[in-house]
């Protein structure tokens, strides 16, 4: 039996400390979320911590934060984890464990990477929780079923992705979607901005992982280097805010200070600016609708000089167009795109394919999309499975041809 959580008073006026369920606590977003919690201990308590297999880090986090529950997706690691956690902390395992944990606390931060985050998103929304969403893949691949779960009374998504968190803040300046002319998503351009296709032929994993402005986990860092991350974010923006694809524009902004903008019907553009620091959007999503008192990423205007903007090079960074194509197709096409990309990125990180072949694997996977109907979660899981199989075959073919 899991104990009640969330009962003491907080730094938020008139409100108890916010109990946070943090799935993916050992990753880049997860560890930064714990920094936010440490920075305002009176405002937050940690109800749940969870990861895939990082037992030592998870155990150390549990001994510091004393959550009611820890979850480990890898069943074989559960026995070891049970010895690492303090007395009174319950250990849950596997996908069912993630689902059980995602209905606890006041706010659920989904910081799991990839399609594996889908059960967390669905369980949190299905139980009427506020979901602080870093795991964009679950919304993108599972949109038809996630949107249904989002209708549950009390359910709400507050985006953690810095661009969508910026849009969420900018949209508060208007009265609704009918006043929105355009969403403008900014992109840093990644480590390969300005390079010609021929200059990118032999790029290494290390070069792709050397992001100029953000320090993130390996999957999203590679996605940033191909602009697939921005493509996924276009779909994410469409799903979050209900704005049509013709009214979502991508602009490259190398300083990563303007995190995105909303252009309203009267021509006014509202932007959110801060230094690139994920603790700001994480704190925004955890504390929403109140803001934290602790600042992260505030701009020092004495140091600040200029902002640059340019259009993305869609010929070199084909993943952006592939994602937009999948988004416009709708249904399960984004699930195929996402699965193809996850397989391709893992293959690139393991040295099986080149950087340029990531877009090819995604394009060939998307080309095999069969327009199957989606009515329940099982359809999304099946689409993901079939798309992965197809993408893996494409990767093997490229390995043999190399």
Ligand X SMILES: NC(=O)c1ccc[n+]([C@@H]2O[C@H](COP(=O)([O-])OP(=O)(O)OC[C@H]3O[C@@H](n4cnc5c(N)ncnc54)[C@H](OP(=O)(O)O)[C@@H]3O)[C@@H](O)[C@H]2O)c1
Q: Which residues bind ligand X (CB under 6 A)?
A: 24-30, 50-54, 73, 98, 111-113, 116, 134-137, 161, 214, 216-217, 219-220, 278
**CA distances to 55, 76, 300 from 80, in Å:** 7, 8, 46
Beta pairing partners, 69: 48, 90
Shortest CB 163 distance to ligand X, Å: 8
**CA distances to 120, 129, 150, 160, 289 from 153, in Å:** 17, 9, 8, 21, 17
Shortest CB 57 distance to ligand X, Å: 7
Q: Could you give the 3-state DSSP secondary structure of residue 97?
A: helix
Shortest CB 175 distance to ligand X, Å: 28
Alpha-carbon gap, residue 156 to 127, rounded angstroms: 11
Closest residue to bound ligand X by CB: 27
The CB density around residue 83, as the number of other CB atoms within 10 Å, is 9
Task: Give the CA count within 13 Å in the CB-facing half-sphere of 255.
Answer: 13
Shortest CB 50 distance to ligand X, Å: 6
Contacts of 329 (CB under 8 A, 6+ apart): 369
Q: Which two tokens stand for residue 198?
A: 């021929």
Q: Which is nearer to ligand X, 162 or 365 (CB)?
A: 162
| Residue given tokens 């609708």 in the structure block | 289
Shortest CB 220 distance to ligand X, Å: 4
Handedness of CA 265, 271, 272, 278 (dihedral sign): positive
Shortest CB 169 distance to ligand X, Å: 15
Q: Which is nearer to ligand X, 223 or 263 (CB)?
A: 223
């Amino acid at each position: 039996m899991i104990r009640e959580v969330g009962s003491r008073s907080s730094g938020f006026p008139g409100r108890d400390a916010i109990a946070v369920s943090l799935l993916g606590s050992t990753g880049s977003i997860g560890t930064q979320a714990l920094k936010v919690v440490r920075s305002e201990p009176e405002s937050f308590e940690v109800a749940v911590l969870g990861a895939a297999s990082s037992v030592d880090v998870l155990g150390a986090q549990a001994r510091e934060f004393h959550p009611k529950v820890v979850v480990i997706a890898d069943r074989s690691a559960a026995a070891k984890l049970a010895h690492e956690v303090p007395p009174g902390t319950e250990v849950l395992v596997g996908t069912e464990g993630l689902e059980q944990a995602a209905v606890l606390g006041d706010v659920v931060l989904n910081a799991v990477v990839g399609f594996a985050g889908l059960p967390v998103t669905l369980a949190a929304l299905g139980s009427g929780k506020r979901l602080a969403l870093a795991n964009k893949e679950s919304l993108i691949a599972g949109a038809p079923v996630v949107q249904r779960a989002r209708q549950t009374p009390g359910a709400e998504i507050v985006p953690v992705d810095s661009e969508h968190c910026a849009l969420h803040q900018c949209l508060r300046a208007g009265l609704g979607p009918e006043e929105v002319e355009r969403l403008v998503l900014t992109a840093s351009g990644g480590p390969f901005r300005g390079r010609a296709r021929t200059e990118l032929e032999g790029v290494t994993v290390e070069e792709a992982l050397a992001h100029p402005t953000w320090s993130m986990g390996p999957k999203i860092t590679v996605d940033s280097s191909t602009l697939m991350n921005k493509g996924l974010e276009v779909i994410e923006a469409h799903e979050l805010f209900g704005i049509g694809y013709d009214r979502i524009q991508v602009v490259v902004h190398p300083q990563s200070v303007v995190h995105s903008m909303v252009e309203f019907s009267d021509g006014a553009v509202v932007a959110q600016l801060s230094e690139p620091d994920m603790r700001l959007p994480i704190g925004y999503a955890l504390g929403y609708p109140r803001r934290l008192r602790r600042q992260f990423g505030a701009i020092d205007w004495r140091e600040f000089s200029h902002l640059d903007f340019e259009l993305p090079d869609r010929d070199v960074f084909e993943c952006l167009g592939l994602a937009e194509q999948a988004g416009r197709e709708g249904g399960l096409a984004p699930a195929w795109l996402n699965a193809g990309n996850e397989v391709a990125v893992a293959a690139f990180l393991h040295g099986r394919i080149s950087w340029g072949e990531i877009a090819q694997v995604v394009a060939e996977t998307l080309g095999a999309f069969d327009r199957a109907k989606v009515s329940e979660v099982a359809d999304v899981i099946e689409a993901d499975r079939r798309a992965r199989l197809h993408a893996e075959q494409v990767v093997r073919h490229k390995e043999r041809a190399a």
